[in-house]
Amino acid sequence: MLKHLFAALDRIRPAETVSAHCDGPCGIYDPASARITAEAVRSMTGKMLALPAPDPTDPKTVATYHNTMARYAKIKEEQAEETKHHLLVLWTDYFKPQHLEDYPDLHDTFWQAAKLCSACKVELSPEHCDELVAAVENIHDIFWATKNRKVEWQLAG
């Protein structure tokens, strides 16, 4: 069935390209989207680990601590989900069968990166956050190499 699908996809791509104005792939893809949200996941993880415990005898401080932890967890969850989404858009829409020849590990590369996003939701692990940022950097390198462009990897944080 896979061959059938490949053939079917090949048939539809030209139509898409005809309607496009850009000479490369028709969309605007940029791993910087995933890089920014991955940096945010790392930042929130660091903040959660650094937040000092509240004075248990001061109800307002306890409530504020809960507020801060809950919203940091929420932001981290959403940024990790966005990172996963940005990465999977690259995998499903930008990368094409011909890229697999140069990057035979492409599927596993994205699978591991996506699983790291999930791990960074579950845990407060600076190590896995670093690995996630490194995984995005690796994809940044692959992506720009396929476009024969040299784009520097620059962190915002």
Comparison of 92 and 148: residue with beta carbon closer to a second copy? 92
* Shortest Å, Cβ 102 to a second copy: 16
Comparison of 6 and 102: residue with beta carbon closer to a second copy? 6
Could you give the C-alpha distances from 73 to 70, 79, 155, in angstroms and in order?
5, 10, 22
Of 91, 78, 63, the residue nearest 120 (C-alpha): 78
Comparison of 49 and 102: residue with beta carbon closer to a second copy? 49
CA 60 – CA 79 distance, rounded (Å): 28
**∠ CA 62-64-68, rounded to 5°:** 120
**∠ CA 99-100-101, rounded to 5°:** 90
DSSP 8-class letter at 31: T
* Shortest Å, Cβ 112 to a second copy: 4
Comparison of 36 and 145: residue with beta carbon closer to a second copy? 36
* Shortest Å, Cβ 145 to a second copy: 15
**∠ CA 23-99-10, rounded to 5°:** 65
* Shortest Å, Cβ 61 to a second copy: 10
